[in-house]
A and B are shown apart, each in its own frame.
Chain A
């Protein structure tokens, strides 16, 4: 503890004095130190006692704290190990605040929080924590992919498929098959028709053969894909993360872009995507299918795509670059000492929209605890105030530059409580269709390796990510 340094000095001095007075005690302290030193070197790691097992067990826990699924890849670990987690969960109040890595006397617990569920893995030895976290998210992604959502009810309904998936995804605690294309060939996703047929005929959801992808060097793609209509769609989505301060100046702004693809092409197509302005992209990450050297030398994306939906690449345009901010916010929020009330006045207008319309505009404010209710009028859209969560949500919709939306009125405050120190910040949501705010544009998409002519399409959309206006 840093705080106590000053006192420690005092205490240390007194310790020494005591030692000087009572030389016996001193020698005890000394011998204790020596012993302590030895034990340190004894327990120093050696190559020999190292065991590199990874994920030992997995528990799925709902928001009430019930364990509704457990899976062990090695010997069984009692679910009482989760008690340490529940303790931390209790302490954190908000589930978001639970530390992802916890230590218990014999195990380590690494957890993620997704869709109101905790995925809790039990680890016994040293392992890169990100390895486990990334894997757990991949499991959650797979559930999402298979069942359309990742919730307790859907997992409980498909318990057998979930179990089969977990069995394939991890062998002895080490990831085995995590590619969605590979998994789908081994374990078919549920659909109503098949489940009816299966119950009638006793058929199964389990594929009979090993997916070819697992063996080739293109593990992400199924073999023998056939479509009547060959099509490839790409969605370029950019999210603006920004912090704007009280005066309207941008404190920081960055763009997080992602290109999601939905490729339904027969055979083994080899695609090349080039950009009008690839120089914009200086920090990128790719799906494993993208040939990196090709990107390095020519700045084109060359890849054999997986079948179906996948994330082709993500990119990040950092705060060092100039980022356009599509809207401005004029606001004033005041809390008055007298009369225990407050005033709120917010106006939003377009700033740099590149001539496009801003849609789905929404403002969310997390009010201080003292705010009991809000009595406001909106010139456009609706507002709601939830007294328990203290969330004020103003759903505006389309932004009309001729008639700027405004929300104003009074806030009623709890009496006898000091006024909040800080004004709450505003979180903005918005959407702009047909625009990538960074200016990125796909110039062409070529296909090699197959004869047919595919249908191609690119869609752009800009959204607000973590867009925050400080007040």
Chain B
């Protein structure tokens, strides 16, 4: 046989010593596999080359192995040792690909080996290898489900991973192996939410769908019961999330974690990946308060411009959504207009949506569109349009008559399909208001001879029977005609003929008795047993004889009972039982493995399960440069201990030390983006050679930097920083005790205390924002400006105070080229906002600036210019805004306070308003005045706050000692004594106020 012969020659090539021949042979073999031809007899010859040095050859062998290992299990085992060796390779790429292939070989006997490999890879330093191990988990699970328990352990471990690379894959494994173990997610929930934007697109889809389910089990429903919701109103102001949060004075309060999920998924609506956009859309649909759902509309409409297949799925989902929420898509109705070039199923879906969106206001436009569609050359589509017109007619009573007249006109159409469909639809419409339409019924009776489509004929017959009293002369004649052609008709027409006969017999037996008998006799011997059945039944019911008992008395009532008009419903009416965006939704049937979305719990489960034990806000010193200096895991022990010494030395120094070796974290939490970038680069340069050990950390600063790190609100940012240090500990442990890392809790705690770091954590510096006026619109010729201090680290330079300016155009013309002009004093360092090219009337825009006040309350004067005018304005900061919070322990606070005695101390006794007696009230007042951080205090009558001046980073320590009465002793320790006295004055005033 020729194929065997050819394979012989391939075998020869594989056994030759020439690499190029082997490669050529493998390429041809892969060609065979791709074409679906068998190449299994070459297995022994191929498997020998698994250890080849040539990477391409090796890869092709892998392809072959994965394809045929199942068939040749014994021979496949020969290759296993090669993979085991490769799993220990120093090159992460080789480790990962070895694991990939090993786990793809579906040979049950190697399950233990795979298990071991997965466990090792899950603890690998390279996130890429860890990602591969997450994929391997699924493969092993499908090979041997008994391994579930052990695999769950690995999943649990990998879920803790902070790498964005791993997150998507491990959630995928979780979904496959143990989707019921919701408890594994709790602790990782917030982390997953925060990492989401930086995860690769495919992982995002998986994580979003998992979190949708999670949220449905953990949070209470945001859809208030009974509260009828004004769709339109909310549609217009749903953009402002803040507004919503404030107005929630109702009993329902959204769990902050629920809000976190909604907030963090929102930017993904801008993804280029249609699956991600759809995933977010379904998340909002299933989780968001009703009035927020509409923010997904625009993005979904955008997807309609994508490929045909994408359109199909998106339109299906919009169809389901538009039934429940017309208002969401109504403004975009024109986007659903049909083009003659659309594929038929796209046209039908658009039609469905247009029908769903029809209401009194837009029906005339929609009907005009429909008129065009009815004439379409695509007859299936024209027929669907007629049905749609019928639906509009029943749903909107104003247009019923118009639609009916239109449909009657269509009865004279040349195309039979159109006529038939019109008849069917008219039949349904007539049922809704039968009284006035005798004429139409007559008209249809006339048409009867020309109509051949069975469904249409049956419809006319039914109408005749049902309204036979309105057309007493015509109906018997139609029956007569039917009697002639009965045997040649379709089943459905025959059934209706029998029906018509029965009804006429009851109402007009004089004329039709014989006809009915004749038809019943024909039906009795029909081929179809349904018709025989029906005939027999009807005969018993209507023809009186001795045996027919009580029933025939009621025959009239049974057959001529008034029938409720059919409700013309959307085909998508019941699709909402499936989660949007799923395969099941698309097919409208439950696909294998479809998980129903759980209903909201009545009472939310414990929220605290999601709290992550935060490393005590203690001071940890982490030297990033040290990380990058580590050469490889084997020398870690050594360098690890070095660093211990180093860092314990460092811990003696005060945290104001701003030298290069002081904590990288402090910098990165406050530094501007550009600085971070620089640092990352220097780090990168150092890393290049030491990749294996360092690459696990390379991504951490990157998290802050790419994506949107620098713009994250402070808290999120810090979460990331904390997670980074978590990782760092694991790393150290790993280095020091590579064998039994996770089993050494004592080391772990001691490890933490060994490191010394001082990073700024802000817990509660969000006071109410005070807004100040910068420029009144009267003086600004229509331009008004307000500013406030957002109390966030300034993006531009660490020594600057961030200021946000809200510019509003209250004039009646657009303002152009709004920018900052001359500044005074000249030494003042201001980071201006980018020139605003154009501000429309009534519009406003928020811009951020950075101003270095050099720790003085001297006002920053500058000119706010438009194209035509210049306005001098000034920003005078309150002294409290020149600070930034610093978190420290009570001991540190006392220690530092001890160093700032004498002339560095300012104190005063103040009288407090009674309302400020509680600790919370005090905190609130202090934080509203000054941007400082609270220091945990063990004494009840002491409140302590720590901060630094933004520009020179001098410590500012505030302590407030409450005495018996309403008096208190306020002490401020800082080098900046001028600031201290000003701060004292401000605080005194604030605390005295109620």
Contact = CB atoms under 8 A, between A and B. Distances in A.
Interface of A: 2-3, 5-7, 9-10, 13-14, 17-18, 21, 43-53, 67-72, 74-76, 79, 94, 96-97, 99-101, 103, 108, 110-114, 123-131, 133-135, 137, 159-160, 162-164, 167, 171-172, 174-176, 178, 199, 201-202, 204-210, 214-219, 241, 243, 245, 251-252, 254, 256, 268, 270, 274, 276-277, 279, 282-288, 291-294, 296-298, 300, 304, 311, 314, 316, 318-320, 366, 368-369, 418, 420-422, 424-425, 427, 443, 448-449, 466, 468, 470
B595 A318 contact: no
Given A10-B499, A124-B592, A448-B674, A297 B848 contact: yes
List of 7 A-B pairs having minimum Cβ-Cβ separation, nearest first: A204-B56, A202-B20, A125-B593, A47-B180, A210-B93, A422-B375, A293-B711
Contacts of B551: 17, 21
Nearest to A250: B334
A6 B271 CA distance: 48
Nearest to A258: B305
B179 A50 contact: yes
Nearest to B413: A421
Given A70-B34, A215-B126, A293-B711, A466 B339 contact: yes
Given A9-B563, A292-B197, A130 B274 contact: yes
Given A99-B345, A171-B132, A251-B334, A159 B568 contact: no
A53 B59 contact: no
Contacts of B534: 14
Interface in B364-389: 369, 372, 375-377, 387
A131 B301 contact: no
A464 to B, nearest CB: 13
B272 A311 contact: yes
B127 interface: yes
Contact of A316 (B55, B301, B339, B340): B301
B507 to A, nearest CB: 16
16 contacts: A7-B462, A14-B537, A43-B590, A50-B175, A94-B343, A101-B583, A124-B593, A130-B278, A160-B31, A172-B139, A215-B127, A217-B706, A218-B702, A245-B372, A252-B337, A470-B372
Nearest to B56: A204
Nearest to B332: A318
A10 B496 CA distance: 10
Interface residues on B, range: 35 or more
Given A9-B563, A204-B54, A288-B201, A126 B593 contact: yes
Given A13-B559, A45-B593, A214-B128, 16 more contacts: A2-B569, A5-B566, A7-B458, A101-B312, A101-B313, A126-B595, A131-B205, A204-B54, A208-B55, A274-B834, A282-B298, A286-B271, A286-B272, A288-B201, A320-B331, A320-B332
Interface string B151-175: 0000000000000110001001001
Interface in B318-367: 331-332, 334-335, 337, 339-341, 343-345
B491 to A, nearest CB: 12
B706 A300 contact: no
Interface of B is mostly: helix
A174 B202 contact: yes
A124 B583 CA distance: 11
A425 B340 contact: yes
B455 interface: yes
Contact of B70 (A52, A75, A277, A466): A75
A2 B566 contact: yes
Given A103-B587, A285-B302, A316-B305, A366 B340 contact: yes
B135 A174 contact: yes
A419 B954 CA distance: 90
Interface of A is mostly: mixed
A133 B313 CA distance: 9
Given A6-B462, A79-B36, A215-B127, A160 B27 contact: yes
A133 B307 contact: yes
Interface stretch (B423-431, B743-751, B854-862): B423-431
Contacts, number: 361
A316 B33 CA distance: 44
A293 B165 contact: no
Contact of A53 (B63, B70, B142, B180): B142
A113 B593 contact: no
Interface in B1-56: 18-20, 23, 27, 30-31, 33-36, 54-56
Most buried by A among B334, B583, B699, B703: B583
A109 B581 CA distance: 16
B97 to A, nearest CB: 9
Nearest to A467: B339
A134 B273 CA distance: 7
A304 B571 CA distance: 47
Contacts of A128: 205, 209, 275, 278-279, 581-583
A363 B433 CA distance: 48
A218 B541 CA distance: 80
B623 interface: no
Contact of A422 (B36, B142, B376): B376
Contact of A127 (B35, B197, B583): B583
Contacts of B298: 282-283, 316, 318
Nearest to B587: A103
Given A79-B36, A178-B202, A215 B698 contact: yes
A424 B206 CA distance: 45
A284 B67 CA distance: 43
B2 to A, nearest CB: 20
A329 to B, nearest CB: 15
Contact of B307 (A137, A163, A205, A420): A137
Given A68-B35, A128-B581, A217-B706, A100 B337 contact: no
B265 interface: no
A291 B93 CA distance: 29
A123 B583 contact: yes
B176 A171 contact: no
A53 B551 CA distance: 59
Most buried by B among A99, A134, A178: A134
Nearest to A274: B834
Nearest to B499: A10
Interface in B801-851: 833-834, 837-838, 840, 846-848
B677 interface: yes
Contacts of A72: 67
Contacts of A216: 698-699, 702
A281 to B, nearest CB: 11
B67 A52 contact: no
Given A52-B593, A284-B270, A291 B706 contact: yes
Contacts of A45: 590, 593-596
A291 B496 contact: no
A127 B278 CA distance: 13
B36 A468 contact: no
A241 B337 CA distance: 11
Contacts of A297: 711, 846, 848
Given A5-B566, A316-B305, A215 B337 contact: no
A66 to B, nearest CB: 10
Interface string B134-148: 010011001000000
Interface in B548-565: 551, 558-559, 561, 563-564
A420 B379 CA distance: 12
Contacts of B331: 320
B923 interface: no
B387 to A, nearest CB: 8
Contacts of A368: 377
Contacts of A176: 135
B574 interface: no
A318 B336 CA distance: 12
Contacts of B275: 128, 130-131, 133-135
B459 A204 contact: no
Contacts of A131: 202, 205, 275
